Amino acid sequence: MPDTQQLKDLATQVRRDIVRMVHKVNSGHPGGSLGCTEFFVALYNEVMDLKEGFDMDGIGEDLFFLSNGHISPVFYSVLARKGYFPVEELNTFRLIDSRLQGHPTTHEGLPGVRVASGSLGQGMSVAIGAALAKKLNNDDHLIYSLHGDGELQEGQNWEAIMYAAGNKVDNLIATIDLNGQQIDGSTDQVLPMGDLRAKFEAFGWDVMEIEKGNDIEAVIAGLKEAKTRTGKGKPVCILMHTIMGHGVDFMMYTHAWHGKAPNDEQLAVALAQNPETLGDY
């Protein structure tokens, strides 16, 4: 396993990848991607039990499903840096005929991606289905998923959340990215969701929080604690507090960079704030 400093260095490199990918095509979603960098780096390099190579059925390993698919830049960067496909392929982000579409898709056959996502609110249902398949296959590995906080305004989530608890889907760890921002403003301005801990608990989930979602050590500790709570009759929810745009000062704390690309000058500033560590693509 890499040490903490190596993971921090990787997170810095991933942030460089994110802003460069979005800048190149003047399109994409840097804010949430930057905010979830530590989560992805921790999950794929410290927490999940993964096999060598990639196959779609995923038997005998932990699986991850990205529900808020618009933060594909961070997903692609971490997959590439983990060796699922060449790092150089990040150059093709959002180009015609690229496997790295703006929202992850499956028909291009991109290693690491098992479901198309981007239609918000559906990832919870997919993750629950995968978790049930693990149980049917007598596979004791876990399902991880990530969801935006604004995404929880979609009603389908709550049907799935109710189903998971009612059917004791206790091999699922669903993380909610609580950055308080969505495309049109803060989540409280668009549609307040109240006390999410109370809501998930009322629906029968085991709920925990990661207060420092942009601290790699805190994220690792939180994910590992979540693993200890599986297999006890309840699905597990992590409420992870992050800062949208974290690591690039002018992108932080605002919905303005939900889906906006930096210009040349802004890219230079962002890269200067995230010094090269592992080599750009």
18-76 pLDDT, tens digit per residue, is 999 999 999 999 999 999 999 999 999 999 999 999 999 999 999 999 999 999 999 99
Residue 277 falls within a domain, yes or no? Answer: no
**Domain total for the chain?**
1
Q: Tokens for 83?
A: 């060796």
Residue 280 falls within a domain, yes or no? Answer: no
Mean pLDDT, residues 126-139: 98
Residue 179 falls within a domain, yes or no? Answer: yes
The count of other CB atoms within 10 Å of the CB of residue 247 is 22
Residue 83 falls within a domain, yes or no? Answer: yes
Residue 127 falls within a domain, yes or no? Answer: yes
Taking Cα atoms as reference points, which of 107, 100, 121, 97 lies closest to residue 28? Answer: 100
| pLDDT for position 118 | 82
Q: Tokens for 21?
A: 């990918």
CATH number of the domain where residue 207 is located? 3.40.50.970
Q: Are 178 and 214 in contact (CB under 8 A)?
A: no
pLDDT digits (tens, 9 = 90+) for 196-209: 999 999 999 999 99
| pLDDT for position 91 | 97
Residue 62 falls within a domain, yes or no? Answer: yes
User: Any alpha helices (H) in the chain, and if so which ranges?
Assistant: 4-25, 30-35, 37-42, 72-82, 123-136, 155-166, 187-190, 196-202, 216-228, 264-272
Give the CA radius of gyration of the chain: 18
pLDDT digits (tens, 9 = 90+) for 135-184: 999 999 999 999 999 999 999 999 999 999 999 999 999 999 999 999 88
Q: What's at 56, amino acid-wise?
A: M
Q: Look up the domain containing 243 and give its range.
A: 4-272
Cα 138 from Cα 261, distance rounded (Å): 45
Cα 186 from Cα 190, distance rounded (Å): 6
pLDDT at 7 over 80: yes
| pLDDT for position 281 | 82
Q: What's at 58, amino acid-wise?
A: G
pLDDT at 1 over 80: no
Taking Cα atoms as reference points, which of 213, 49, 58, 38 lies closest to residue 133? Answer: 58
Residue 182 falls within a domain, yes or no? Answer: yes
Residue 205 falls within a domain, yes or no? Answer: yes
Rounded alpha-carbon distances, angstroms, from residue 278 to 17, 87, 95, 208, 235: 11, 11, 25, 33, 37
Q: Tokens for 73?
A: 């830049």
Taking Cα atoms as reference points, which of 141, 140, 196, 132 lies closest to residue 167? Answer: 132
Taking Cα atoms as reference points, which of 6, 39, 12, 44 lies closest to residue 219? Answer: 39
Cα 19 from Cα 93, distance rounded (Å): 12
Burial (0-12, 13-18, 19+ Cβ within 10 Å), 196: middle
pLDDT digits (tens, 9 = 90+) for 71-94: 999 999 999 999 999 999 999 999
User: Any alpha helices (H) in 26-51, and if so which ranges?
Assistant: 30-35, 37-42
The 3-state DSSP composition of the chain as helix, strand, coil percent (nearest 5) reads: 45, 10, 45
